[in-house]
Amino acid sequence: MIKHIPLEGLIAAPHTPFHEDRSLNLKMIEAQAQSLVANRVTGAFVCGTTGEGLSLTIAERIQVAERWRTVAPKNLRVIVHVGHVGLDDCRALATNAQQIGADAIACLAPCFFKPGSVEDLVQFCAEVATAAPELPFYYYQIPSMTGVNFNVADFLIAASGRIPNLVGIKFTHENLMDFLQCLHLENGRFDMVFGRDEVMLGGLATGARAAIGSTYNFAAPIYHRLMAAFAKGDLVTARKEQLRSVELIQLLASYGFMGAAKATMKMIGVDVGPARLPNRTLTKEQASKLQAELERLGYFEWLKAG
């Protein structure tokens, strides 16, 4: 079995930075990494959903992953998402991740030609994982985007022993029953990383110890307070912080989440540029209106609170 240290704390899913013409802005990645470290984030989940991974070419994804690995300090773990619609592309990305010294890889289910059974999904993931046999492998469960929604517990039971470097799941779903069952499989050996920022408290109550999410790029203090309050048994404070998360995410989603999140990054001093179509980029007027609404919500004060 591959040697693996489970993920802990907050792992951000960073945006891919673009110039105004939507070409890669690789120089900005160092500032992103510095911002994460300053906000006590422990890792970066690169080229995932927030990173618009499936809107990048394979060559671009390799460049982004290599840049993250180059600029990330030792205390910031780099997990490279290698999922794509085609198996050979996934394998190429996985091989590159191993070559550059990534800390782990993750792969979502193919979302055009979808696996018709758990067995099909296991076979696909096994093929991807064997392209980077020295790296820990996470299956990335995100049915809201892939349309693939098998119980993860069934996947882990079927995959155990067949994917030697399988260590866990990036669980971006609301099915806490499935999450709980996964946590207790094989005496709790799987690293179950929670992936829904707006229901983190439910994940913590179920047993999560780490989380990967979009809003940890620009709202980590909210979640640090949430996790600290939960650890102390202060559910009143934990619920208060979770409500702030919900209100923030709802506001961003009302503008189109990707464009609004990238606009928010600029507001905190890390300009990651526009989104790529079909994701919407906010106009200057929309960004100004969003900033005013964020101020009314109290967002900028929440960041100062620690």
How far is Cα 249 from Cα 299, in angstroms, rounded to an integer? Answer: 11
For 40-68, the pLDDT digits (tens) are 999 999 999 999 999 999 999 999 999 99
Contacts of 189 (CB under 8 A, 6+ apart): none
Mean pLDDT of the region 278-285: 97
How far is Cα 140 from Cα 128, in angstroms, rounded to an integer? Answer: 13
For 64-115, the pLDDT digits (tens) are 999 999 999 999 999 999 999 999 999 999 999 999 999 999 999 999 999 9
**Is the residue at 254 inside a domain?**
no
pLDDT at position 1 over 70? no
Q: Which domain holds residue 152?
A: 9-233
Count of domains observed in the chain? 1
**Is the residue at 21 inside a domain?**
yes
pLDDT at position 305 over 80? no
**Is the residue at 42 inside a domain?**
yes
Per the annotation, the verdict on 170 as an active-site residue is yes
**Which pLDDT value is given to residue 2?**
77
**Is the residue at 36 inside a domain?**
yes
pLDDT at position 4 over 90? no
**Is the residue at 138 inside a domain?**
yes
CATH code: domain of residue 165: 3.20.20.70
Report percent pLDDT > 90 for the chain: 97
**Is the residue at 245 inside a domain?**
no
**Is the residue at 87 inside a domain?**
yes
CA angle 151, 126, 207 (to 5 degrees): 40
Mean pLDDT for the chain overall: 97
**Is the residue at 259 inside a domain?**
no
For 124-174, the pLDDT digits (tens) are 999 999 999 999 999 999 999 999 999 999 999 999 989 999 999 999 999
Query: pTM for the full model?
Result: 0.95
3: pLDDT confidence band, cut at 50, 70 and 90?
A: confident
Mean pLDDT of the region 202-211: 97
Number of Cβ within 10 Å of residue 27's Cβ equals 11
Q: Which of the following is catalytic: 139, 140, 216, 299?
A: 140
Q: Which of the following is catalytic: 3, 27, 138, 170?
A: 170
CB 118 within 8 A of CB 158: yes
**Which pLDDT value is given to residue 306?**
59
